[in-house]
Amino acid sequence: MKRTFLTAFFFFIALSAKGQKQAVSPDTIALFFDELATASSRNAGLWNKDLYGPVILIDPKTREFFANEPDSEGILKRNGKIYSGVLPASINIANTAVNWGGKRWAMIMLPLSQDKESRINLLAHESFHSIQPALGFTLNNAENNHLDQKEGRIYLRLELEALKQAVRSTSQKEMKQHLTSALTFRKYRNMLYKNSETAENLLELNEGIAEFTGLIVSGRNNEQTRSSLLNGINDFMKNPTFVRSFAYYTTPVYGYLLYKKDKDWNKRIDGKTDLTGYFIKAFNVIIPSDLKKAAGNLADRYNGKSITEEETEREEKTRRLIAEYKLKFIQQPHFEIKFEKMNVSFDPRNIVPIEDKGTVYPNIRVTDLWGILTVENGALMSPNWDKISISNPVKTENKKISGDGWILELADGYTISKDESSGNYRLVKN
For 307-321, the DSSP string reads HHHHHHHHHHHHHHH
- Calpha distance 328→419 (Å, rounded): 17
Least confident of 134-143, 175-184, 262-271, 366-375: 134-143
With the C-alpha atoms ordered 320, 324, 326, 332, is the resulting torsion angle positive or negative? positive
What residues are paired with 96 via a beta bridge? Answer: 107
pLDDT grade for 139, boundaries at 50, 70 and 90? confident
pLDDT at 248: 97
Per-residue pLDDT at 21 exceeds 50 = no
In one letter, which amino acid is 407?
I
Angle at 204 between CA 359 and CA 288, to 5 degrees: 105
Of the two residues 128 and 22, the one the predictor is more confident about is: 128
- Calpha distance 242→153 (Å, rounded): 8
pLDDT digits (tens, 9 = 90+) for 341-367: 999 999 888 899 998 999 999 999 999
- Calpha distance 18→11 (Å, rounded): 11
Q: What phi and psi, each to the nearest 5 degrees, are found at residue 209?
A: -70, -35
Least confident of 1-15, 119-133, 168-182, 386-400: 1-15
pLDDT at 347: 86
| Of 372, 398, 387, nearest in space to 334 by CA | 387
pLDDT at 350: 87
In one letter, which amino acid is 390?
I
- Calpha distance 241→219 (Å, rounded): 30
Q: Which helix (H) or strand (E) holds 145?
A: none
Please report, rounded to a whole number, the percentage of residues in the chain having pLDDT higher than 90.
Answer: 91
Stretch 368-388: mean pLDDT, rounded? 96
Q: Are 56 and 68 in contact (CB under 8 A)?
A: no
pLDDT at 11: 35
pLDDT at 140: 77
The CA-atom distances, in angstroms, between 107 and each of 99, 110, 298 are 10, 10, 42
pLDDT grade for 2, boundaries at 50, 70 and 90? very low
335 Cβ partners below 8 Å, 6+ apart?
Answer: 389, 390, 391, 392, 393, 403, 416, 424, 425, 426
pLDDT at 16: 38
Per-residue pLDDT at 50 exceeds 70 = yes
Stretch 269-295: mean pLDDT, rounded? 98
List the beta strands (DSSP E) in 306-422: 334-338, 341-346, 352-353, 359-361, 364-368, 371-375, 379-381, 387-391, 395-397, 400-403, 406-410, 414-418
Q: In three state form, how does the secondary structure of 215-261 look?
A: HHHCCCCHHHHHHHHHHHHHHHCCCCCCCCCCHHHHHHHHHHHHHCC
Q: How many CB atoms lie within 10 A of CB 297?
A: 14
Average pLDDT value for the chain: 93
Q: Environment class of residue 52 by beta-carbon count within 10 Å: exposed (0-12), middle (13-18) or buried (19+)?
A: buried
Q: Are 265 and 216 in contact (CB under 8 A)?
A: no
pLDDT at 348: 82
- Calpha distance 170→205 (Å, rounded): 28
Spatial strand order of the sheet with 334-338 comes to 352-353, 359-361, 379-381, 387-391, 334-338, 425-429, 414-418
Kind of pairing between the strands at 387-391 and 395-397: unpaired
- Calpha distance 7→95 (Å, rounded): 7
pLDDT digits (tens, 9 = 90+) for 97-110: 999 988 999 999 99
pLDDT grade for 143, boundaries at 50, 70 and 90? confident
- Calpha distance 247→124 (Å, rounded): 16
| Of 361, 345, 419, nearest in space to 427 by CA | 419
**How far separated are the first and last CA of the chain, in Å rounded?**
19
Per-residue pLDDT at 22 exceeds 60 = no
What residues are paired with 416 via a beta bridge? Answer: 427
315 Cβ partners below 8 Å, 6+ apart?
Answer: 150
